[in-house]
Structure 1
Amino acid sequence: MLATANSLLAAIGADQNAITSLPQLRASASSLFVALFELFFAERLTHVRRADLSDEALAFNAQQVVDALRRRGDDLPRYVSGRAIAAGDLSALQFMLVYFAATLARAEALAADDADAEEAAGRAPRQRQEYDPEFDGEYEPELEYDYEGAPRAARATHPLAVEEEADFDDGREPGRDYGHDYGADSRQDYGAESGAVRGPGRRSAASQLTVAH
């Protein structure tokens, strides 16, 4: 799971915030998933509490991501909830990492197909829309994403994919709310104030992809 999380961070240009332990992943997951959702889907989650790193706020923010994915039509298991994510439940974290890795794989594949088609037609590939966390308008849909279709195949072949059935049993029950106290210093902030992924100005090509449902 750490390798998948760090591959996603690298894909969005935030590899300077590498996650090195499960406690760090658990403490950072809420902010990470908010950043990934807003970047991949170009949709700002307006109710996210960006400057608050309390346990309550982290659970609330993670639930905003879960609710937004369900509104898009994705069938998330019942054990995936904001409280489970913020509490560091490994089953919930694993599902979300698989989800975003599959989303990235699908987006990259469709972007490559689009570029090849433009080149074959003798046209320069069109520029991807730049992610702007301050933009409140509607983005033009660029890529269609079917979670029940191609991404499942992508999981088996994409280097970012992790096995859904992998056993990360640490004695916890999936979906149960476990308290934790890692301290504010252990929590990575992937854009609590601005909604953007913090770090140098470098942006990978993946960070400019927009995935439309």
Structure 2
Amino acid sequence: MASPFLLLAVLALAFAQALAYDPTPLQDFCVADLKSNIFINGFPCKNPKTVTVEDFSFSGLNITGNTKNKFGFNVTFVDVMRLPGLNTLGVSIGRADYAPYRILPLHTHPRAAEIFTVIEGTLLVGFVTSNPNNTLFLKSLDAGDVFAVPVGMIHFEFNVGKGPAVAIAGFNSQNPGIIFIRDAVFRSKPPIPVEVLEKSFQVGKDVIEELLAQFK
């Protein structure tokens, strides 16, 4: 008869595989063929004979992003689209730049948890849990501090310092995605009906139309 500990180990492994967000590699690598017309959950593999070392490298995270925009932030994602060798590996990385007293507004990563390290500056960061509690976990971080955001949680990073801030983020998905709450609600195509927004936010039509006007 199998040991109870062995059974638990097998069950834990089975659950770990079932909860994996990205496809599990079944060979040394599966470099993404970004030009393929085949649609699967992920990307098909390039012929291993055509794979080169360039498929596993990316240069540019040392470059400061352009923060001259409305919100004063820039995110440089290094996901499977920019680094095809990440296909099936379940990881990606990114650099975030923040102008002084500017924000990376409320957003989620639908396919990944996030862990990021502040490299420069001071960031006020936080995420909000799901219903019914909607608890805010909020913390001020300085250079060298690390923060984790569970998968799918709405979160933000706010540069509260007098100078620029920089953070490096890691994700447990080759393609974490990013959904900005403001864009999803007020810039959807086609637009969400005004009546739906009125009832959702419990405000008048004039307030909704004023908000919508900012996103045209």
TM > 0.5 fold call: no
The structure with the largest alpha-carbon Rg is 2
With structure 2 as the length reference, what TM-score do the two structures score?
0.24
With structure 1 as the length reference, what TM-score do the two structures score?
0.24
Is the strand fraction higher in 1 or 2? 2
